[in-house]
Structure 1
């Protein structure tokens, strides 16, 4: 099978991948991290809810991690795209866009997910800045302000209910006929959450900062921030090609330790967890690194 240069190749060099790389590098494993420089939080001006790094830019946190990893002789980081992974007897062959091919005993996908923007003027421009999905990551910065929630039905109700902890000035935009139950509508109005059913035409903003929501009837609603959940897809379909099970929500199915349904293949971070905070990405990366090292020891001992 030829020389296997790496114990582990980590595809994706953001927070989960870098955390796993440090864990494995400190376990004296030869590790290669391949990253294409497209993290899903690249539009976010600040990272929050991460102890010791609260308020720093995501790019600064990742740069610090890469700087620290550079001190480990066991870890190599490169910028490239992985185009294919071939599973052979006892190892994996990783093929990159620059035609370089390497071999590894184990694979960790820390490739994250890609948010799919709706076809709404202004939405993508504001995403991560003033159109946000996670109150735990960005809610404190807008608490008490005039907030909007995009959603409908049960999901819209639960989302508006959640956001009510951060503000008492909330409007739920269903962007079409409400599918809320009568009881849900009554509950929202009881808590002074307005419901607007008129379809949203677009978002007027200034450099990504929401000014107002424009409706198809010509009315504008001034707001300070919008909470919205959008669909997503995996950044790469290589895990599926290898046979990894994708769950009903579209995430890579893993056990509690990051192992996928394919032996030797692991996943960590947003691609396999609904918790999208940086702390969770780092924790799942660490866990995957520990288990991969333990598995290698068991195989070698």
Structure 2
């Protein structure tokens, strides 16, 4: 890990130290007009070859690819050291940039391919930024904080026609149908719902059926334990035909069911974030910080109630917590200095 960090440190030092070296270059080669190229030659190569090195580390041997990038970087640095004129120096800077981006990309690639996902965050914290993200083009992005707002994927039960009825005659939130499908008498009165016209389907779960019958009998709600085998969209705007295992059917004005969900992407697992029993990212209120310092989560991936308003609220609170942490770190030195004075 130390060797990888030193490779990235050297590549970044080669870029940042340039500001100090440019006056000496200009004085040595009498080349005021070339000053812009001393820096841009390197950064242009960083931009041009980042995806190329990403593919190289993906399809070729990690060690040899990394050593090749190191060789190119050292070759460019050697050309710069012995450059007799400004043009040669610019060429050397471009070659060094081609190898330097390989060193930076290779550091992340080697960690990603050789270190277990739950330990990667511990190896990457001391690189250029606290967190690293690699996009579909193999480009590497670094940052001090990380916010997950990647949502969840609905996992539909194994019932024929469920997916076709989802969003048309069935929703995870009953108030949505009260607003959009007001033609049905069971949802036009808002809170004044006629419970005696409701059915609870437990899909063969006998223990749950017995528990629900005890708590809902006085409200007139009918509990049906028959396994549901098929759902068919009915003729009305939200009608659904429910088919049972015993081949009988019933048409409902609409259905309410909240399917299981799973977080989109492998990112929570890669960082080793703690999850709730429902599979959501476990957060601490009020700012929705996760079990990994510097990582926040907002929206459906972090809240039990998957709704737009809840997601907006969590995003607003995350923004406050994120800004607070960044500012606290930014001004901590000034606060200490003020207290000392």
- 1:125 to 2:155 alignment: no
Aligned partner of 1:48 in structure 2 is none
1:195 partner SS: strand
Spell out, residue by residue over 1:252-272, the C-alpha distance to the aligned partner (whole angstroms, 9 max, x if none): 111110211111111111111
Q: Retained in 2: the 8 A contact 1:122–1:204?
A: yes
- 1:272 to 2:299 alignment: no
Which of 193, 204, 208 is matched with 1:166 structurally?
193
TM-score (norm. length: structure 1): 0.61
TM-score (norm. length: structure 2): 0.54
Aligned partner of 1:215 in structure 2 is 244
2:144 partner SS: strand
**Judging changes above 3 Å, is the alpha-carbon distance between structure 1 residues 144 and 274 closer, same or farther for their aligned structure 2 residues?**
farther
Q: CA deviation at 1:229?
A: 2.0
Give 1:250-265 correspondences, 5 Å limit: 250-256=279-285, 257-265=287-295
Q: Using the alignment, how far apart are the partners of 1:178 and 1:239 within structure 2?
A: 35
- 1:244 to 2:273 alignment: yes
Aligned partner of 1:193 in structure 2 is 221
Which structure 1 segments of 5+ residues have no match? 4-82, 148-162
Q: CA deviation at 1:184?
A: 4.1
**Judging changes above 3 Å, is the alpha-carbon distance between structure 1 residues 184 and 246 closer, same or farther for their aligned structure 2 residues?**
closer
**Judging changes above 3 Å, is the alpha-carbon distance between structure 1 residues 164 and 182 closer, same or farther for their aligned structure 2 residues?**
farther
2:145 partner SS: strand
Give 1:43-122 correspondences, 5 Å limit: 87-89=124-126, 90-122=129-161
Q: Using the alignment, how far apart are the partners of 1:296 and 1:182 within structure 2?
A: 53
CA RMSD of aligned residues (A): 3.1
Aligned partner of 1:291 in structure 2 is 321
Q: CA deviation at 1:294?
A: 1.4
Which of 203, 223, 228 is matched with 2:231 structurally?
203
**Judging changes above 3 Å, is the alpha-carbon distance between structure 1 residues 287 and 165 closer, same or farther for their aligned structure 2 residues?**
same
Tell me which of the two structures has the higher relative contact order, counting C-alpha pairs closer than 8 angstroms and 6 or more residues apart. Answer: 1
Number of aligned pairs? 208
Aligned partner of 1:135 in structure 2 is 174
Q: CA deviation at 1:175?
A: 2.1
Q: CA deviation at 1:209?
A: 4.3
Q: CA deviation at 1:135?
A: 2.3
2:301 partner SS: coil
Q: Retained in 2: the 8 A contact 1:145–1:167?
A: no
Q: Using the alignment, how far apart are the partners of 1:177 and 1:246 within structure 2?
A: 26
Q: CA deviation at 1:164?
A: 8.5
Spell out, residue by residue over 1:127-168, the C-alpha distance to the aligned partner (whole angstroms, 9 max, x if none): 122211122444444579477xxxxxxxxxxxxxxx995343
**Judging changes above 3 Å, is the alpha-carbon distance between structure 1 residues 118 and 177 closer, same or farther for their aligned structure 2 residues?**
closer
Q: Using the alignment, how far apart are the partners of 1:202 and 1:287 within structure 2?
A: 42
Spell out, residue by residue over 1:229-284, the C-alpha distance to the aligned partner (whole angstroms, 9 max, x if none): 21111112212221211122211111110211111111111111112221111111
Q: Using the alignment, how far apart are the partners of 1:136 and 1:236 within structure 2?
A: 30
Structure with the higher strand share, 1 or 2 = 1
